[in-house]
Amino acid sequence: MAERVTAAPRLEMRGVRKRFGATQALDGVDLAIQAGEVHALLGQNGAGKSTLMKVLSGAIQPDAGDMRIDGAPYAPAEPLDARRAGVAMIYQELSLAPHLTVAENILLGMEPARGGLGARLGVIDRRAMRQRAERALAELHHPGIRPDALVGRLPIAAQQIVEIGRAVAVGCRVLVLDEPTSSLAQADAEVLFQLVDRLRQQGQAVVYITHFIEEAKRVADRFTVLRDGRTVGGGAIADTTVPAIVDLMVGRRVEQLYPRSTRERGEPLLEVSELAGAGKPERASFTLHRGEVLGIAGLVGAGRTELLRVLAGLDPVVSGRVKLGVHSGPATPAQRWAQGMALVSENRKEEGLALNLSVADNLTLSRMPAVVRPAARRTLAEGWIGRLDVRCQGPEQPIGELSGGNQQKVAIARLLHHGVDVLLLDEPTRGIDVASKAQIYDLIDALVSREQPRKAVIMVSSYLPELLGVCDRIAVMSRGRLGPARPAAQLDEQALLREAALGSEAA
């Protein structure tokens, strides 16, 4: 590790606050990073990491707090200001132009112009562009990437190098790497780790955001943990342990406040064996029984959503077996609905609901009679609205006008109206208020314990207390592979987070 310097921090953020409506996303966050330091920014999903980095990049404005770079005040009004100040963001989803060359991507927006008349006409100096791109790649020890190669034809690992090269070419002083290994094979990840070490030696200040704690231990000098929008701990990463970091990320144990009726596990409804999709999941096996809730834990990018999409018929089955009741083999989404299994998407605004249509339309679209009688449909919709306590003006109100929690109730009601036995719920309480969450929890409990016939639920959630409180068994997905399902009573947040971050060897 590089020797720490005693000068003013390269980057300092103090007392940063940001509120979105009723949600306090950042509540006085402090962060300080020296030049020549790799600093791991850790925390569970929703801890505030992304919001903090958006403030740093100028994408959003903080409500309070101040920032400094090399001791000088720093307050970007937009991302271009941050770029000019030497702050470079490398997001999980790379922002490259695949139809342009490596050199064109590296110098995009600051192309060198020819001298004289050429400069006045804005004529690009292609030779100078190539030379500057070559220098940037050489600084990264990757001269093998050709400046004239089309970026879209490069492997993901090489594209990532190109994006980092762009940061180096503009004179980066603070480099943010957001989940940089999420799409990389292990060999490519090792190459990235070596590159990060070289950037440290060159005096860069690197913010390394990751859910994988072993990566943070591998590359970082110091770390900061965010929880619920606050800075809750940090220090020299060599002086701490993985369990200690997990404890900081999780915090004190939360009381169990989730409704749970007596549940009796019935016959198998869904049997999955060695299931693989086109990308993820790589491998998943489990059995889901009537009358139980199976939770799927894991980090963002682990393949949880992809697993549900494959089960629902939205993505193809590449290998393995899916047996739903008496039906075996792959199926289309319409066939899955008919067989008794359907998905409530985590992205309800774009995939789960038709926001310009009414509550009644969204409730009944999947199961409409040949001749629709408005009065009959209204009565049907009113029944579901009352049963799920959907707060709305009536069945004809546009669903886009409802709160997130009431929209989610309608999305679940559609599955019940259709009569499915297996409900696939992807982040069912994301973005809804506490009262609506409690109602969703009670509804899930009723479906598997009191509904006749009793249902079965697979629930993906990033909020671990929710999984522990609602589910009967929980399986952890790590890097595309689903671990064994174990009784929730035998697990805790630390165990789930450790397995999600370290893989099945931590189980």
Q: Which residues contact 332 (CB under 8 A, 6 or more apart)?
A: 313
Tokens of 161: 């190098």
Measured torsion, CA atoms of residues 100, 102, 108, 113, in degrees rounded to the nearest 10? -100
> Is 120 within the bounds of a domain?
no
* Torsions phi, psi for 458 (to 5 deg): -110, 125
Same domain, 314 and 221: no
Distance between CA atoms of residues 206 and 199, nearest Å: 8
Q: Which residues are within 8 A (CB) of 149 and not within 5 positions of it... i.e. 6 or more apart? A: 101, 102
Q: Are residues 481 and 504 in the same domain?
A: yes
* 373-399 confidence digits (pLDDT tens): 777 778 888 888 888 888 888 888 889
Which residue among 198, 223, 250 closes a domain? 250
Same domain, 425 and 332: yes
For residue 67, being part of any structural domain is answered with yes
As given in the structure block, the two tokens for residue 242 are: 């993985």
Task: Please give the structure tokens belonging to residue 182.
Answer: 């999420």
Give the distance from CA 303 to its chain's centroid: 10
- For tokens 């990049």, the residue is 57
CATH number of residue 33's parent domain: 3.40.50.300
> In terms of Cα–Cα distance, which of 278, 274, 182 is closest to 479?
182
Structure tokens at 112: 């060198």
State the distance between the two ends of the chain, measured CA to CA, in whole angstroms. 30
Q: Residue holding tokens 């990437």?
A: 145
* Domain endpoint, select from 250, 279, 313: 250
**Residue 165 falls inside a structural domain:** no
Residue 37 lies in a domain: yes
Q: Indicate if 427 and 498 belong to the same structural domain.
A: yes
Tokens of 227: 């929880």
Same domain? For 243 and 362 the reply is no
Is residue 385 in some structural domain?
Answer: yes
What pLDDT is attached to residue 375? 78
Phi, psi of 269, deg, nearest 5:
-105, -35
Regarding whether 428 and 335 lie in a shared domain, the answer is yes
Does residue 91 lie in a domain region? Answer: no
Same domain? For 433 and 489 the reply is: yes
Task: Transcribe 154-170 into DSSP letters.
Answer: S-HHHHHHHHHHHHHHT
Domain co-membership, 278 together with 211: no
165-216 residue pLDDT tens: 888 877 789 999 888 886 666 677 788 888 889 889 988 899 999 877 878 9
Same domain, 467 and 493: yes
Number of structural domains found in the chain: 3
- CB of 342 within 8 A of CB of 423? yes
Co-location of 292 and 356 in the same domain: no
pTM: 0.56
b/e for 439-458, b at 16 or more Cβ within 10 A? bbbbbbbebbbeeeebbbbb
Residue at 137 is within a domain: no
Cα–Cα distance for residue pair 422/243, rounded to 1 Å: 36
> Contact, 491 vs 474, CB < 8 A?
yes
Q: In what order do the strands lie in the sheet with 268-276?
A: 284-289, 268-276, 319-324, 327-328
| Co-location of 470 and 389 in the same domain | no
Instruction: List helix spans (H) across 220-332.
Output: 242-250, 304-311
Do 328 and 471 fall within a single domain? yes
8 Å CB contact between 459 and 471: yes
> Residue 117: what pLDDT?
45
- Domain assignment of residue 270, given as a range: 257-340+421-507
Q: What is the pLDDT of residue 3?
A: 46
* Amino acid identity for residue 206 in this structure: V
How far is residue 447's CA from residue 31's CA, in Å, rounded to a whole number? 45
Q: What is the pLDDT, as a whole number, of residue 149?
A: 86
Which of 218, 250, 282 is a domain's end point? 250
Residues (pLDDT < 50) of the chain are 1-5, 117-120, 252-256, 370-371, 506-507
Answer yes or no: is 6 within a domain: no
